Amino acid sequence: MKILAVSDQVQERIYTLASSGHFKEVELVIGCGDMPYAYLEYLVTMLNVQMFYVPGNHDPQYDLRNADSCAEGGINLDLKIVRHNKFLIGGFGGSVRYRPDGTNQYTQSDAYSRAILMLPRLLLNHLQYGRALDILISHSPPFGIHDDSDPAHNGLKALNWLLRIARPRYHFHGHIHLYKRNLENIETNFGLTKIINVYPYKTLEVSH
């Protein structure tokens, strides 16, 4: 299954590539957060495929009564797990808390409490499919992997825990912008998982 994953920054190039058919083989769009929802909606409309996304720390709080708090045509996968095209895909939105009033921000212990909510479904998947998860989508990176030492860019330890118990083949995240000095923060193997920093976009063929 070919995936187009986007995060954090609008790329003007994407508009040209999408309209010229460059992504015609893409079967799934993944949004890793901090994206204007209009950008995600454009991609879904142009490519006419399923989209799953998680909110980032610069996205609005999801609110059922407010259409601007979600991306139309896509599914907010925060703390949810779905089966799509035989892939088990789970989402974990937000970043570490660095402002008391920040949206989609969690202390390390809040993040653990959230991750634990995914446990029943992961266990059910294990019983039903022999594996808990294939793809994890998050905004934040795990702690100590692709993250940064400044308070806003510490990774979430709950994600390391999730990766250890769910053992997905792929973990897509955003939040960490790449500069010349941190170009090593693109792809890391963690146990069975390939951890991919999506910023600003990536296409990848995933397999079981």
> Which spans of this chain sit near Zn ion (rule: CB under 5 A)?
34, 56-57, 175
**57 vs 193, beta carbon nearer Zn ion:** 57
In the complex, least distance from residue 140 CB atom to Zn ion, rounded to whole angstroms: 7
**73 vs 102, beta carbon nearer Zn ion:** 102
**21 vs 151, beta carbon nearer Zn ion:** 151
Q: Looking at the chain, how many residues does it have?
A: 208
Token reading at 140: 């934040």
Q: CA dihedral in degrees (208, 126, 122, 197; nearest 10)?
A: -20
> Rg of the chain's alpha carbons, rounded to an integer?
16
In the complex, least distance from residue 59 CB atom to Zn ion, rounded to whole angstroms: 9
* Alpha-carbon span 72 to 114, nearest angstrom: 24
In the complex, least distance from residue 104 CB atom to Zn ion, rounded to whole angstroms: 9
In the complex, least distance from residue 26 CB atom to Zn ion, rounded to whole angstroms: 24
| Beta-ladder partners of 2 | 205
| Residue of closest CB approach to Zn ion | 175
Both ends of the chain: CA-CA distance in Å? 9
**171 vs 175, beta carbon nearer Zn ion:** 175
